[in-house]
């Protein structure tokens, strides 16, 4: 694959610490007041209206010329076109924004129509999400949970190092960054462990994850091998898999997560492509025992993505950082997740979303959930205001940040932010 992530410059002014330089160009769906949603690319502080550029004749290659897949309410039609179309679009967008290519810069009318401040738009879900699956792929997270609730000497279940453990989530309750999360209600059990009652969760938690979107998908009965994963994975987002721990503790046996997870999943609006993340692929942690042949990878599939969790209570004027970790620590990678899910022949479709599972590192301040940071509520966090948190309170805002750091630039995901409310 040619290196498409050298050091080009744009004629737009872009700060060195921007999440959205010319090396990134993530895709999202936006709307201006009174206008229909459509697809854009983020560049610096602007949204580049790709539907307007297509209508002006700037996508003329074989894969994109036939119809304006950017004049849509989701990325699904573009995702379905596959890698050739993705590469064609990325190359053309970079060309239009390159400092040495002035076709857009010197067209004042088109520039005014196609370049919109991000502050002037509403970001929407990037795709129509038909199916959502979530995994449990961090050894550090799974070990912490096993130590808390099972055997500290043997925290991992026997299957854990042989397959990426996962479950099917609820696609209808996936929301975009900025949308509030309503505190869920459900059954919890008292101290006797027998008598349940119904009411709002008292143990609301976040889970720091990465999500990835499917492109073309596969026919029913045809698995996707790890070597073909790059043809099917469109790009990645930040993902918060909210959890009601007390509801989960009562309901999860024997079939696993249900109401404790399905009330909301938040994702960031900009989808960062695998091409943009290509310079940041790194070896993943050793897998011992070696996975079965269908889960083995011929190339590196871990990504060096720096991740942070921030919290802001209603009494705070600024958020405080709770945790710092990295996606490269994950035991199971995204190619293995996709290969395992489809190994039984299940079909995937454009816009399907996958969650990585909670991302936790080896250090205590690299954990991806309050369950771990506060060790099942026994070690509450002290906030700068004097407040404490073992789990989330109404009015708390949780912010995730993530980026890969290059030489003089970063490829970032923006922010994923949501506030806890209680409307009942």
Residue 141 annotated as catalytic: yes
Supply the DSSP string of 208-240, one letter for each residue: EEEEEEESS-B-TT----GGGGGGTEEEEEEEE
Residue 356 CA, distance from chain mean position:
8
Q: How far is the C-alpha of 8 from the C-alpha of 97, rounded, in Å?
A: 10
Q: Find all residues with CB under 8 Å of 204, minimum gap 6, and list them.
A: 183, 184, 242, 243, 244, 245, 391, 392, 420
DSSP bridge pairs for 208: 240
DSSP string, 134-185: EE---HHHHHHHHHHHS-TTS-S-TTTTTS--EEE--GGGEEETT--EEPPE
Query: How distant is the alpha carbon of residue 274 from its chain centre?
Result: 13
- Quote the tokens at residue 367: 């954990």
Among residues 141, 168, 197, 423, the one annotated as catalytic is: 141
Q: How far is CA 393 from CA 78, 198, 398, 420, in A?
A: 40, 19, 11, 7
Q: How do 115-117 and 174-176 pair as beta strands?
A: unpaired
Rounded Cα gap, residues 398 and 371, in angstroms: 15
**C-alpha dihedral, 149 to 154 to 156 to 160, nearest 10°:** -150
User: Catalytic positions, please?
Assistant: 141
């Amino acid at each position: 694959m040619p290196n498409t992530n050298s050091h080009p410059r744009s004629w737009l002014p872009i700060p060195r610490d921007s999440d959205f330089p010319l090396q990134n160009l993530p895709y999202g769906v936006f709307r201006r007041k009174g206008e229909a949603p459509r697809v854009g690319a983020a560049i610096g502080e602007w949204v580049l209206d790709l539907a307007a550029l297509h209508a002006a004749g700037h996508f003329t290659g074989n894969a994109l010329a036939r119809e304006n897949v950017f004049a849509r309410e989701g990325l699904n039609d573009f995702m379905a076109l596959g890698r050739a179309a993705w590469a064609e679009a990325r190359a053309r967008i970079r060309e239009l924004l390159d400092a040495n290519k002035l076709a857009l810069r010197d067209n004042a009318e088109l520039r005014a129509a196609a370049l919109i401040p991000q502050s002037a738009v509403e970001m929407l879900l990037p795709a129509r999400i038909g199916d959502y699956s979530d995994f449990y792929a961090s050894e550090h997270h799974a070990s912490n949970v096993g130590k808390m609730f099972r055997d500290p000497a043997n925290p991992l279940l026997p299957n854990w190092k042989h397959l990426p453990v996962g479950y099917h989530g609820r696609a209808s309750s996936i929301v975009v960054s900025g949308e509030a999360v309503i505190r869920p209600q459900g059954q919890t059990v008292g101290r006797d462990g027998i008598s349940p009652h119904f009411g709002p969760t008292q143990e609301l938690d976040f889970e720091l994850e990465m999500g990835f979107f499917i492109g073309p998908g596969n026919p029913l009965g045809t698995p996707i091998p790890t070597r073909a994963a790059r043809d099917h994975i469109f790009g990645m987002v930040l993902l918060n898999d909210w959890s009601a721990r007390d509801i989960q503790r009562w309901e999860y046996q024997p079939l696993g997560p249900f109401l404790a997870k399905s009330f909301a999943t938040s994702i960031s609006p900009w989808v960062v492509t695998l091409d943009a993340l290509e310079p940041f692929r790194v070896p993943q942690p050793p897998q011992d025992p070696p996975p079965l042949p269908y889960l083995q990878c011929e190339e590196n599939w871990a990504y060096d993505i720096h991740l942070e969790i921030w919290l802001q209570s209603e009494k705070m004027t600024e958020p405080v950082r709770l945790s710092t970790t990295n996606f490269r620590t994950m035991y199971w990678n995204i190619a293995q997740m996709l290969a395992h899910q489809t190994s039984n022949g299940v079909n995937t479709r454009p816009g399907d979303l996958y969650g990585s599972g909670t991302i936790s590192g080896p250090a205590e301040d690299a954990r991806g959930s309050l369950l771990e940071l506060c060790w099942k509520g026994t070690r509450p966090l002290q906030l700068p205001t004097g407040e404490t948190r073992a789990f989330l309170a109404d009015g708390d805002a949780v912010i995730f940040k993530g980026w890969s750091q290059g030489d003089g630039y970063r490829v970032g995901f923006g922010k994923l932010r949501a506030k806890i409310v209680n409307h009942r």
